[in-house]
Structure 1
Amino acid sequence: MGISVMTLPKMRIAMPSDSIIGFLQQVRSQRLLFPEQIEQLVQEPDWPQEGLERLCQYLLERGILTRYQAEALLQGRGQELNLGGYPVLEEIGPCTGGMVYKVLHPTLRLPLLLRRLKADEASLGEPVEAFFERVRQWGMWQHPHVAAALDVGRTDDDIYIVLDPLGDHADVETLTGELGGPMPGPVFREMARALASVLRSLHEQGGTHGRICPAHLVLGPLREKVRPDGTRSRRPASDATIKLTELGLLPRLPPVRQQPPPRRYLAYLPPEFFDDPTPTPAADVYALGATLYFLLTARPPFKGDDPVALMEAIAQAPLKPLSRLRPDIPTEISALVERMLAREPGQRPTAAEVEQGLATETSVPSRSGSLPLAEDLPESAPLAESVSSRHLPVAVPVQSSSVSPEPAADWSEAWSCHMAATAATEPPQRRARPITDAERARSRRMLLLGGLLHLTAVTLLLLWIFGAFTSSPEPEPTPPQKKENKIPPKTRPRNPQVG
């Protein structure tokens, strides 16, 4: 039933007030404190036994409660400090359709994120049961390059989703801004292949994402680097991997033309979403293509000063070729990304074709510094993909012999370490050469000879089993014959006197 006065040390004369006892019962029932923590608290000689404000301040100073918890308890909102069995530490901020909280694992006491969504069709964009089933089916879908939800649950009024905070990761959009330039070719190739493998597996099992963009990709683990000016910057570690987030976790989009999403999401939506925002495999391929375009150029494929201008550019403006922005990338890769950005869904490749195209062996240059963009158009000539005169920032073009800017070098340096470690552990792969007709004939002869030898061995084995090689029995020994002692007839002695 909770802590009682009898649990307090017997040597104390002053007993805690009823409000203090009720307070301790509440923090125990909400799992904000374990029973052993409360036992330890009441044994402290200086713990306040009167006045909730004094007690909350005491617990706050010792890091036992957070300020958010203390304020909620003092305001009588203690029931809000436990969501689905997860003790709430603090409120982080709003998210699409709800609020995000920092919580603790009920038993391990590890920090997690909990997303609380209102269980109503208006905010979810679809029936509550359909959304909850989608979250359960795809939100916890396991893949090496997907950040899946850890737990999903439902109360009378809310749906909660528990996520790993991924503290040593950062979304690709933010990280690209910090590093100051696009991805080098080798980094891009590995990241793109990983994302294509996610989409292929997802589409083969009947799922879709619907909201792929750089903000929904996380890269990590990261490590900090101190610049010469003393500032710090994050960059990928040598074992960094990319993961796709928000799979099955986001409410359906409302009609895009009436309620455009923020620009960081709108810039990567396919044009068919403006009329019908229903996720499809072809829409996922377009969104992935727009994201890959960003990874290669540090800018979205199209831009506009406002949502209407941006949607008009996505639907009508010509795409600036990747070959102009990234001449170091093989033409096959550039053409594949541009095919993914086709406005007609039927003209886009499938996710399996994208994965296969990215796996094709082509030489991707890699330099120790950043890979510069091709020289941009003159300032007087507007960019083809823009419907306004405002330019997004791009990397400054440099000569290959010049020193690369420090921020962009972080991509390549981290990848060089990764490639060196991989090359040290993996044996070199030999490239197969064509087989000549003479070698084929010799192979057939060797196969025929091997077959004959095998048949001969089997035949000899069968003959041996059935006794064909059994030796004749040895002849029986004959008893030795006894020799007869024959006495020769006595000869008459010759008379020497005769004749």
Structure 2
Amino acid sequence: MRPAGSARPGRPDKVPEDSPPADLADYTCDASETLLYDSSGEDAGLPPDASPSPPAAFLDDPRQFAESVVGSGLVEESRLLELRAQLFPGDEPVVVSRLAGAMVRRGWLTPYQAAAIRQGKARGLAIGDYLVLDKIGAGGMGLVFRVRHPGTEADLALKLLSPSISRDRAAVARFRREVSAVARLSHPNIVAALDSGEARGLLYLVMEYVDGKDLARHVRDHGPMSVRQAVDCVIQAARGLKEAHDRGITHRDIKPANLLLDRSNVVKVLDLGLARVNQGLEAMDAEGSDTDLTVSGVIVGTVDYMSPEQAFDPRLADPRSDIYSLGCTLHYLLTGRAPYGGKSFMERMLGHRERPIPSLRNARDDVPVPLNEFFWRMMGKSVGVRPQSMVEVIDGLKRCAEAKPSHLPPSRPASPHAEDRFDPDSVYGLADQSVAESAHPVVGEGPTNVYTRPRNASDSRVQGRRARRRGHWRRILILAILAAIPLLVRLFATRRRSRQPNEPRPRPQGR
């Protein structure tokens, strides 16, 4: 991470106090239109015997509450005074929680807006030209809000990036470059990037709002998908990724949580280009030009869905790394778990590199054999084993979707083979020339993970370098043996002399 002293002037080290609140609890309205704190929601991190409590700071003064509501531009003063007179006629004291609840019931405020105003954070409800309606979620990148532009009635999604990103000059430059590239993408299976900017020292990205949930939450809520639905979701994601790959953009963080499923069962790829911004894949030199440096210790992606080459060196990630991650996602959609479990980060990461590829048919016997075999190819540890483009993925999955479930016994777990391994000695992890010519595993057996492609000049150069490297080490070994021979002869002669007595033994005399 960049030292604190190098932070860009004017950029915050933490979220400004007037930013949208990130920790608002759930609020509901009771029968009397009173806005109440709802303690029935999930509160992860609280002790089992602890009960959640509303924030201590509340605006209970009717005059201050009215000034905040009107000052934020959410409700006109005349409408507020009229509602207040209806609810509290005469000299009846005004109850702020009831007044706020009534405005929520009438649709003048959202529960999030009412709670924010009561906490004295009305100014944070405006980000640039956008009005915050609700909080959608939070993650390592920052907070996501549902917003609306005053000039339109359409809901949008706004991602407010964390201060650690916003204060880093290189990250800011990457953000603007990646957003500029992603904004040129237009595809029904990609969440469109519409606008970006900076508010109170924090960067934000405005995207289309998808009314639905991500695939990770869908599986958690409803369990594993049917084979047909899972394959359809992966095909849709592959179509969106094909469009990105055609424009030279690799996602680098494909996972179920980054695939949104709307109410029309359309899958949309989320966060294109942002993995590079968040993790700092590239560095910037003093003049601001791109370099090939990788920040030490940085891994771009999510370990449960990350390809072996991407974990080894983030610069090696290319479209085939997205194909691997999409294969991991297919495994999750069908089984409800990631392909490789483990108690630690390192154990799970090494699983992608060393452990056998799991079999879908061991988890579900309704998975067709062709789908299981194609899944094995998508998760090949060597990129040469995998499909080489999203076009191959789409065509292969379409053929698998038409196949009928087999009555063959489940496939035994895959075993690692020498021809499919991640080879750190080669950028591409090419399959060895001794690999069998067949590109299709034997039905009913574990995968051979063999996929041979025509040799090109690049492959020949890689193989030539490997052959020259092997010859170099052979020469070194021969020279070392030749140099050791005189030493061994001298050592042997010295040991023989040391065994001879210093003085000759006297001969026995005759009697």
1:61 maps to amino acid:
A
State the Cα distance separating 1:98 from its structure 2 match: 1.9
Preserved CA contact (<8 Å) 2:370 2:403: no
Q: Which residue of 2 aligns with 1:355?
A: 394
* Residues 1:53 and 1:276: Cα distance change in structure 2 (over 3 Å): farther
State the Cα distance separating 1:282 from its structure 2 match: 2.0
Preserved CA contact (<8 Å) 2:365 2:410: no
1:176 maps to amino acid:
V
| Structure 2 residues not aligned, in runs of 5+ | 1-60, 281-293, 417-511
| From 340, 354, 359, the counterpart of 1:316 | 354
| From 205, 215, 222, the counterpart of 1:172 | 215
Q: Which residue of 2 aligns with 1:244?
A: 269
2:223 maps to amino acid:
G
d(CA) in 1 for partners of 2:133, 2:401: 50
Question: What is the DSSP-based 3-state SS (H/G/I as helix, E as strand, rest coil) of the residue aligned with 1:310?
Answer: helix
State the Cα distance separating 1:308 from its structure 2 match: 1.5
1:180 maps to amino acid:
G
| From 247, 263, 279, the counterpart of 1:253 | 279
1:206 maps to amino acid:
G
Question: What is the DSSP-based 3-state SS (H/G/I as helix, E as strand, rest coil) of the residue aligned with 1:301?
Answer: coil
State the Cα distance separating 1:284 from its structure 2 match: 0.9
Preserved CA contact (<8 Å) 2:255 2:326: yes
Preserved CA contact (<8 Å) 2:146 2:158: yes
Preserved CA contact (<8 Å) 2:335 2:363: yes
Preserved CA contact (<8 Å) 2:137 2:143: yes
Structure of greater relative contact order (alpha carbons < 8 Å, 6+ residues apart): 1
Aligned positions of 1:200-279 closer than 5 A:
200-221=242-263, 240-250=265-275, 251-253=277-279, 265-278=302-315, 279=317
Preserved CA contact (<8 Å) 2:112 2:134: yes
Question: What is the DSSP-based 3-state SS (H/G/I as helix, E as strand, rest coil) of the residue aligned with 2:266?
Answer: strand
Preserved CA contact (<8 Å) 1:256 1:275: no
d(CA) in 2 for partners of 1:96, 1:327: 37
Q: Which residue of 2 aligns with 1:141?
A: 185
d(CA) in 2 for partners of 1:127, 1:153: 14
Q: Which residue of 2 aligns with 1:496?
A: none
2:244 maps to amino acid:
L
d(CA) in 1 for partners of 2:401, 2:113: 56
Preserved CA contact (<8 Å) 2:214 2:259: yes
Moved more, 150-159 or 246-255: 246-255
State the Cα distance separating 1:343 from its structure 2 match: 2.0
* Residues 1:295 and 1:125: Cα distance change in structure 2 (over 3 Å): farther
Question: What is the DSSP-based 3-state SS (H/G/I as helix, E as strand, rest coil) of the residue aligned with 2:187?
Answer: coil
Aligned positions of 1:325-336 closer than 5 A:
325-326=363-364, 328-336=366-374
State the Cα distance separating 1:115 from its structure 2 match: 1.8
d(CA) in 1 for partners of 2:94, 2:313: 54
Preserved CA contact (<8 Å) 1:260 1:307: no
State the Cα distance separating 1:207 from its structure 2 match: 1.1
Q: Which residue of 2 aligns with 1:187?
A: 229
Question: What is the DSSP-based 3-state SS (H/G/I as helix, E as strand, rest coil) of the residue aligned with 1:99?
Answer: strand
1:242 maps to amino acid:
V
d(CA) in 1 for partners of 2:166, 2:145: 22
* Residues 1:293 and 1:54: Cα distance change in structure 2 (over 3 Å): closer
State the Cα distance separating 1:269 from its structure 2 match: 0.7
* Residues 1:85 and 1:47: Cα distance change in structure 2 (over 3 Å): farther
2:269 maps to amino acid:
L
d(CA) in 1 for partners of 2:233, 2:343: 30
d(CA) in 2 for partners of 1:181, 1:72: 37
Q: Which residue of 2 aligns with 1:300?
A: 338
Structure 2 residue 124 is matched with structure 1 residue 80 = yes
d(CA) in 2 for partners of 1:300, 1:117: 27
* Residues 1:376 and 1:124: Cα distance change in structure 2 (over 3 Å): farther
1:300-347 CA deviation, whole Å, 9 max, x = no partner? 221112212111211211112345445554544333322221223344
State the Cα distance separating 1:91 from its structure 2 match: 4.4
Moved more, 66-75 or 341-350: 66-75
Q: Which residue of 1 aligns with 2:199?
A: 155
Preserved CA contact (<8 Å) 1:213 1:291: yes
1:440-474 CA deviation, whole Å, 9 max, x = no partner? xxxxxxxxxxxxxxxxxxxxxxxxxxxxxxxxxxx
Preserved CA contact (<8 Å) 1:297 1:373: no
Preserved CA contact (<8 Å) 1:148 1:247: no
Structure number with larger C-alpha Rg:
1
Q: Which residue of 1 aligns with 2:327?
A: 289
d(CA) in 2 for partners of 1:303, 1:316: 13
Identical counterparts, % of pairs? 27
Question: What is the DSSP-based 3-state SS (H/G/I as helix, E as strand, rest coil) of the residue aligned with 1:252?
Answer: helix
Question: What is the DSSP-based 3-state SS (H/G/I as helix, E as strand, rest coil) of the residue aligned with 2:305?
Answer: coil
Question: What is the DSSP-based 3-state SS (H/G/I as helix, E as strand, rest coil) of the residue aligned with 2:265?
Answer: strand
* Residues 1:248 and 1:53: Cα distance change in structure 2 (over 3 Å): farther
1:132-163 CA deviation, whole Å, 9 max, x = no partner? 23124315732122232443322351122234
d(CA) in 2 for partners of 1:66, 1:170: 20
Question: What is the DSSP-based 3-state SS (H/G/I as helix, E as strand, rest coil) of the residue aligned with 1:267?
Answer: helix
Moved more, 55-64 or 82-91: 55-64
TM-score (structure 1 length as normaliser):
0.56
* Residues 1:151 and 1:47: Cα distance change in structure 2 (over 3 Å): farther
* Residues 1:90 and 1:192: Cα distance change in structure 2 (over 3 Å): closer
Count, aligned residues: 335
Structure 2 residue 68 is matched with structure 1 residue 62 = no
Preserved CA contact (<8 Å) 1:125 1:253: no
* Residues 1:372 and 1:269: Cα distance change in structure 2 (over 3 Å): farther
| Structure 1 residues not aligned, in runs of 5+ | 1-18, 222-238, 386-499
1:382-423 CA deviation, whole Å, 9 max, x = no partner? 9979xxxxxxxxxxxxxxxxxxxxxxxxxxxxxxxxxxxxxx
State the Cα distance separating 1:247 from its structure 2 match: 2.0
Question: What is the DSSP-based 3-state SS (H/G/I as helix, E as strand, rest coil) of the residue aligned with 1:135?
Answer: helix
Structure 2 residue 131 is matched with structure 1 residue 131 = no
d(CA) in 1 for partners of 2:303, 2:169: 17
Moved more, 313-322 or 275-284: 275-284
State the Cα distance separating 1:30 from its structure 2 match: 3.5
Structure 2 residue 73 is matched with structure 1 residue 31 = yes
State the Cα distance separating 1:88 from its structure 2 match: 2.4
TM-score (structure 2 length as normaliser):
0.54
Preserved CA contact (<8 Å) 1:118 1:157: no
Preserved CA contact (<8 Å) 2:163 2:202: yes
Say what the alpha-carbon RMSD is for the aligned residues: 4.2
2:218 maps to amino acid:
L
